Structure 1
């Protein structure tokens, strides 16, 4: 892990990358959950010590257990408590709203509770992981909330288009215009 992180820092320097996505991996059914949490925290502290001098932030991403069964990190409160324990500006959360909606919903309250540890957001509606306005997430309210909080960092469009070709591209642009009109 440490060797890969050092190599990743060199890549980040060459490419001027500021964030590195980290997913802790699968949970071990033969080990108590609290020991696994302690191991994750300890390893992320080592990683943060490598990343911090380079100005790189690792963002840990909770993934939903329906699409990614068996992974250790699945919920925002879990990611928040891990980041707080690592206690480094180089260990933050990427809040993937698609995953969070599937796993726990309650998006705005979870964003609010985890605000100090969130560095970026991934966007995608559910069901289907397509552009906003195609599913159940009210992105207009979320964008308004983020704007009111003064958020000015990354909103990654991590989704497909609901329609193919040019029609899909136009629908995508219109969707973002709609959710950004508050």
Structure 2
């Protein structure tokens, strides 16, 4: 490296460090005394702190912010009244919190993407159009899409093959999924919004869904080739499906836009199962992840004790 390059790199690094330092100071100044903001954008969800904040979702968001959380996740926000969606978005902006994902489309037992039927197509595109409106009200950037089940349904005119395999060959199903995802992306790109595809495990929770593994999601995103189609890497699901978490995260990194957490077994807070969340979160932080890590899990204990345990678990996992 020549001297000019070295000096330029040093100045850039110094500037970045000063900017990061000022950002951390601003964040710490915002959080109440004694509750510094978390290093990653962990996002609790409605009901997680309902004992500590019994006044409803807005009170829970305020409580979460006071504990140092910098994000919020609400899978079911599409079902809330428009005025409440707007109120949530306004409060999150006031508290300098990111809005995490909500579910835009999730079909677990119908091949809504894998089979090219007009009724399925219209159903999916209508859900995407609705998600654009919801995102505008609550300030969301990402929302979840689960691209249906595999095509394994038989009928009187078309039978499974002799091995009990899919009615439509896997390659054709994949081509149909890609084509519909491209249509969805075309609706989202003008708005700068991102649908995140979530691979789900077959072994415990969602047998039969089309999308199971991180490499499969990665291939779909590469084929769709849109900034509006990325991966939701759910650490709980991928621990069950494939393990090897950090290497698989690295291989998919350029297509991952969002993470979700939950320990295994049990799908509770970090520290209740087998996943070394401190190491995983450290890795995300070192790679510069600034998005949301949705806390899509339950509390291991009921009531206020359980809510305190969740906060402590994330403080411990965030101590890297």
Structure 2 length-normalised TM: 0.56
TM-superposed CA distance for 1:4, in Å, is 2.5
TM-superposed CA distance for 1:154, in Å, is 0.6
Q: Which runs of 5+ in 2 are unaligned?
A: 1-123, 152-165
TM-superposed CA distance for 1:166, in Å, is 1.2
Q: 2 CA distance for matches of 1:36 and 1:131?
A: 36
Residue number in structure 1 paired with 2:147: 24
Structure 1 length-normalised TM: 0.97
TM-superposed CA distance for 1:171, in Å, is 1.1
Q: Does 1:78 align with 2:211?
A: no
Q: 2 CA distance for matches of 1:88 and 1:177?
A: 36
TM-superposed CA distance for 1:90, in Å, is 0.3
TM-superposed CA distance for 1:128, in Å, is 0.3
TM-superposed CA distance for 1:10, in Å, is 2.2
Q: 1:104-157: CA deviations, max 9, x gaps?
A: 000000000000000010100000000000000000000110111011101100
Residue number in structure 2 paired with 1:60: 197
Q: 2 CA distance for matches of 1:48 and 1:154?
A: 21
Tell me the SS of whatever aligns to 1:120.
strand
Residue number in structure 2 paired with 1:35: 172
Which of these residues, 282, 285, 288, is aligned with residue 144 of structure 1?
282
Q: Does 1:166 align with 2:289?
A: no
Q: Does 1:46 align with 2:183?
A: yes
TM-superposed CA distance for 1:12, in Å, is 1.9
TM-superposed CA distance for 1:165, in Å, is 0.9
Residue number in structure 2 paired with 1:106: 244
Tell me the SS of whatever aligns to 1:20.
strand
Moved over 4 A (4+): none
Cα RMSD after superposing both structures: 0.9
Q: 1 CA distance for matches of 2:260 and 2:293?
A: 6
Residue number in structure 1 paired with 2:84: none
Which of these residues, 227, 231, 235, is aligned with residue 89 of structure 1?
227
Tell me the SS of whatever aligns to 1:82.
helix
Q: 2 CA distance for matches of 1:16 and 1:177?
A: 27
TM-superposed CA distance for 1:161, in Å, is 0.8
Residue number in structure 2 paired with 1:2: 125
Which of these residues, 127, 139, 142, is aligned with residue 265 of structure 2?
127
Max radius of gyration: which structure?
2
Number of aligned residue pairs:
182
Q: 1 CA distance for matches of 2:133 and 2:305?
A: 40
Q: Which runs of 5+ in 1 are unaligned?
A: none
Tell me the SS of whatever aligns to 1:122.
strand
Q: Does 1:115 align with 2:115?
A: no
Residue number in structure 2 paired with 1:15: 138
Residue number in structure 2 paired with 1:69: 207
